[in-house]
Amino acid sequence: NLLDRFLAAGARVVFVGYSSGLRGESGVVVPYPNHENHMHVRFPAR
């Protein structure tokens, strides 16, 4: 899925909705309010 692809590409933090059903490593996949229909992805600076 898209979350797995972001993580494989090196995402450092992904904010997802509490009820989105998306789960992952604590501190990397972070449940966040009002994100049930989208996610925010943070990559390290280059």
Q: What is the reported pLDDT for 4?
A: 97
pLDDT digit string, tens, across residues 1-46:
999 999 999 999 999 999 999 999 999 999 999 999 999 999 999 8
| pLDDT score for 46 | 84
pTM, two decimals, is 0.91
What per-residue confidence (pLDDT) applies to 33?
Answer: 97
Residue 31 has a pLDDT of: 97
3-state SS of the chain is CHHHHHHHCCCCEEEECCCCCCCCCCCCEEECCCCCCCCEEECCCC
